[in-house]
Every structure is written in C-alpha cells, then in structure tokens.
Amino acid sequence: MGADVAKIFQPELGMQRSHGRAHARFGCARGRVGLRDLRQEGSAKVLLPRPDTDVPEVVFLNTSGGLTAGDQLAFSLTLGAGCRVVSTTQTAERAYDAGGGLPARVQVSHQVGAGGWLDWLPQETILFQGAALQRHSEINLAKDAGCLLLEAVVLGRAAMGETVTRLQFHDRRIIRRQGRVMWIEPLRLDDAVLAGSDRPALLAGARALASLVMVGPNLGDVLGPLRAVLDEPGVQAAASVFEGRLVVRLLAADGWPLRRQILRVLALLRQAPPPRVWQM
C-alpha cells in the first residue's frame, strides 16, 4: 500500500528544455547609429556594451550555459540603411551530450539595410561527445550592403584530453543580396565523418576549423596582405577572392592556435580592435 501511494504522488519528471529568442533593431539618423528596438525572452539575452568607436557592439548571450537535446535558440538583428554594427556572442557556445534525443536548434537571421554593414563574429562552438545540434545562419543584404561572417567549431577540449567520436552536427550558412544567393555553405559532421577525419578531404586530422566569408567591394586588394598573415603555427589556412566574395578556411589541431589566427585575420580585414569579449 505504501509503495502504491508513493507512486501516485511521485510525478513523472521530464527533462527541462531551454528556449530563447533575442532581437535588436538599429537605425541611422544624422550619421549616428542607434538602437530602435530590443526584444528578448527565455535564455536569450542581448548586451550592449559602449565601445570607444561609433560602431555599436551587440553581444548575444545564452544564459542556459550550453545546448543539449531539444533546446531552441534564436538570434536576429535588423540594421537600417547606412547602419554599421559588429555583433558577437559573449563566450563560446557549448553543445553537450544530447543523450540520443532531439537535436538542439539554433536559428540566426540578420537583415542589413542599403549601404549598411554587419560583422557577425560569434565565438567558437564547442561540440562535446554525443552532441546533436542543427544550426541555420542567414544574412540578408540590401543593395550596396556588405558583411563579414565567421563560424568556428572546436571538437571537445584538447586540454582536458577529450576525444569526440560521436555527434550529429548540421550547420548551414547563407548570405543573400537582394534575394540573390551570394554564399551558401553546408557543413555536416557525424560519426562516419569523424571515423575518417584523418583523410585530407575531410578534417585532415584537425579538431578545430573556421570559415570567414566577406561580401563587399574591392576585396581583391586585401588578398595579398591577408595571405601574408595566414602563418600562425599549427594552423592550415587558405584564402581566395571571387565575384565579390572573400573566403578564408582554417584548420587546426586545437582551438587556441585557431583563435589566435582568427584574431589576426579579423584585425586585418576590419582595421579595428576585436569585440571586447574577444580580446585575450
């Protein structure tokens, strides 16, 4: 009888899931860029530090401390005509073991008005053993707008002796200008890819990788100086320019040299200090 009563009063506890959405909108008046709208809910927050420049800095934050099965997160920016903004994340995003459940989902959607510019520079995503994450990032550019897009991924923490052999990571990045696709890059990492990750056509033994894409004018002028700084020890790197797009690919054995190389590339491309949360 006692066991039956205990069963009645013991609820079935499901795993708590994290949900968050954050959006900021900026406009430009008399040459000054200012915040026009800010919305945030759940675990997604927006921080607006005051930089020493005229370019606003937007920092997105996931207060749940990481992503796991079934979590949902959405970040978005809308920049009016002529606005220039740099946006990042407060720290590295972490995707933890999903326990075989539904994947975590992240949606990034930014709109850049005519003549505007966005530097979207999230810090690295760290994928742990058993992680399941689906992410879709999209930047829509109006006429004469441009952007710099960064995505960096690290497989586990080398300093902790972690080796990742099991995960599901689906990542898709798209840049459009006036509805026309300027760049599309899908990335899929799963158990089969990790099993053959030493192959040159896959990760070539790397456990950290990054892609930087810039869409804008006169990119050929920067290609030579850019290639000259792609010499960080422990990092394989290549850069190319074609049809209004500059692309940089980076591979490294660990996240630390990758981060150093990224900072050197950003310093050259942006001609400005990195976001405050990026500084080492």
Classify residue 8: in a domain, yes or no. no
| Torsion angles phi and psi, residue 276, rounded to 5 | -55, -35
Per-residue model confidence as pLDDT tens for the chain (280 residues): 455 555 544 444 456 788 999 999 999 988 889 999 999 999 999 999 876 568 999 999 999 989 999 999 999 999 999 999 999 999 999 999 998 889 999 999 999 999 999 999 999 999 999 999 999 999 999 999 999 999 999 998 776 777 888 999 999 999 999 999 999 999 999 999 888 888 887 788 889 999 999 999 989 899 999 999 999 999 999 999 999 999 999 999 999 999 999 999 999 999 999 998 987 5
User: 74-113 burial string, b = 16+ CB within 10 Å, else e?
Assistant: bbbbbbbebbbbbbbbbeebbbbebeeeebbbbebbbbbb
Contact 148, 122 (CB under 8 A): no
Residues 6 or more apart from 11 whose CB is under 8 A from it? none
In one-letter notation, the amino acid at residue 195 is A
Closest CA to 136 of 151, 126, 146: 151
Total structural domains within the chain: 1
Classify residue 234: in a domain, yes or no. yes
Residue 192: CB atoms within 10 A of its CB come to 10
pLDDT of residue 16: 73
Q: Give the global pTM.
A: 0.91
Domain that holds residue 133: 17-278
Classify residue 245: in a domain, yes or no. yes
Closest CA to 211 of 185, 176, 248, 181: 248
Contact 264, 229 (CB under 8 A): yes
Classify residue 1: in a domain, yes or no. no
How does strand 93-95 pair with strand 245-252? unpaired
Task: Give the mean pLDDT of the chain.
Answer: 91
Classify residue 3: in a domain, yes or no. no
Classify residue 241: in a domain, yes or no. yes
Classify residue 7: in a domain, yes or no. no
Query: Residue 22 belongs to what H/E stretch?
Result: strand 19-29
Rounded Cα distance, 96 and 17, in Å: 13
pLDDT of residue 197: 80
Contact 248, 215 (CB under 8 A): no
Classify residue 250: in a domain, yes or no. yes
Contact 200, 180 (CB under 8 A): no
In one-letter notation, the amino acid at residue 80 is G
Tokens of 223: 């290609």
